[in-house]
Chains A and B, each alone.
Chain A
Amino acid sequence: MLYRRPSFSSMWNEMDRLQREINRLFDVFPSRRTLTPGGYPAMNIYSNTEGVVVTAELPGVDIKDIEIQVVGDSLSVSGKREIPTVEGASYHRQERLSGSFSRTIRLPFPVETEQVDATLQNGNLVIKLPRQAASKPKKISVRSVA
């Protein structure tokens, strides 16, 4: 006996489409917990048309041990994190990392190097970088031609 199964094949097509939709959904909203930093310290970047804010977590780093350099649209953060070893103590656990670090990132636009503001509070580094005036977007007015 011969079966005609047009309904079945269309069902499988529908299943494939559904699977693609689900895959697409997971690509658009990837799990935020699997963020991989490109180096130490990990950085978050916030921006608008006026400037950019870069944040990093540097617990236990002294302000005098952090060096920030800005050239055009590149930002460098370097320094060292020193954890003195206590003489005569026995260590049960050492999870905190120490050493020097250096990282350079490219900003979305050139910034005013003279007006860069950096603060360190409770181990949180916040660098505010205003956008260079010359690179700001210009509003173009449209004339009406009579």
Chain B
Amino acid sequence: MSEDTKTIQTQEKEEMQFNGERTRDRLCFIPRTDIYETDDAIYLVVDMPGVDEKSIDITMEKNTLSVNGLVEAQSFEGYSEVYAEYETGDYQRNFSIQIPVNRDGIEATLKNGVLNIRLPKDESAKTKRIEIRTG
């Protein structure tokens, strides 16, 4: 694979709004993501602080992988917000996977608010070394 092969294109949140209205009164952010590819798999690393394994939803439909994370608003009883630099909200992002992957082998782990997804490549998409026979 050469460096400039882009097999995955991301969709921005604004584009997904066309599908309908959100039914939750929360902001929704596009999580920052690293995407890399090895010979046998594609890896997605998604920053989703505040999300735990129960509030996360990953679905693969056709060749679109959707990551959805719900985050409850942070509040501290008896305290009032005096200074704010960031806001919390849900996360949503779709990834268009352009190469065949083995759907049953998709694995996801969550640690310290970072989601790791491994999509193993289908046998047909794996890089094969072609032996050259001397004739």
- Say whether A123 faces chain B, with CB atoms less than 8 Å apart: yes
For the complex, give the distance between the alpha carbons of A75 and B83 in Å: 15
Interfacial chain A residues near B37, Cβ < 8 Å:
89-92
Closest-by-CB residue of A relative to B52 is A122
Does A45 lie within 8 Å of B49, measured CB to CB? no
- Nearest CB to that of A49 among chain B residues? B78
Partner of B32, one of A89, A90, A95: A95
Q: B38 contacts which chain A residues (CB < 8 A)?
A: 86, 88-89
In the complex the two chains form, is B49's CB within 8 Å of A59's CB? yes
- CB-contact partner of B85 in A37, A50, A88, under 8 A: A37
Contact A44 B34 (CB under 8 A): no
Q: Within B7-58, which residues are at the interface with A (CB < 8 Å)?
A: 7-8, 10, 27, 32-39, 43, 45, 47-52
The stretch of A28-36, A111-119, A137-145 in contact with B is: A28-36
Does A47 lie within 8 Å of B79, measured CB to CB? Answer: yes
> For B132, what are the chain A residues with a Cβ–Cβ distance below 8 Å?
none
Collect the chain A residues with CB atoms within 8 Å of residue B88's CB: 57
**How far is it, in angstroms, between the C-alpha of A47 and the C-alpha of B81 when the chains are bound?**
6
B6 on interface, CB distance cutoff 8 Å:
yes
Q: How does the 8 Å CB contact mask read for A32-61 relative to B, with 1 for contact and 0 for none?
A: 110111100011111110101101011111
The answer to whether B35 touches A91 (Cβ under 8 A) is yes
Complex interface: chain A residues within 8 A of B87 (CB): 32-33, 35
Tell me whether B112 is interfacial, beta carbon within 8 Å.
Answer: yes
Interface: B5 (CB within 8 A): yes
A59 CB contacts on chain B under 8 angstroms: 47-49, 112-114
CA of A12 to CA of B76, assembled, Å: 48
Nearest CB in chain B to that of A86: its residue: B36
| Min C-beta distance of A50 to chain B, whole Å | 8
Q: A95-B32, A124-B113 are in contact. Are A58 and B82 (CB under 8 A)?
A: no
A46 and B32 within 8 A (CB): no
Asked if residues A92 and B6 are in contact (CB atoms below 8 Å), the reply is yes
Interface contacts beyond A46-B82, A57-B88, A122-B51: sample of 13 additional A-B pairs, CB < 8 Å, sorted by A:
A32-B87, A38-B85, A44-B74, A46-B79, A46-B80, A52-B82, A86-B36, A89-B38, A90-B5, A91-B37, A92-B7, A122-B112, A124-B74
Q: List 22 A-B contacts (CB under 8 A).
A: A32-B87, A35-B84, A35-B87, A38-B85, A44-B86, A46-B79, A55-B74, A58-B112, A88-B38, A90-B1, A90-B2, A90-B5, A90-B37, A93-B8, A93-B10, A95-B33, A96-B47, A97-B32, A123-B49, A123-B50, A124-B49, A124-B74
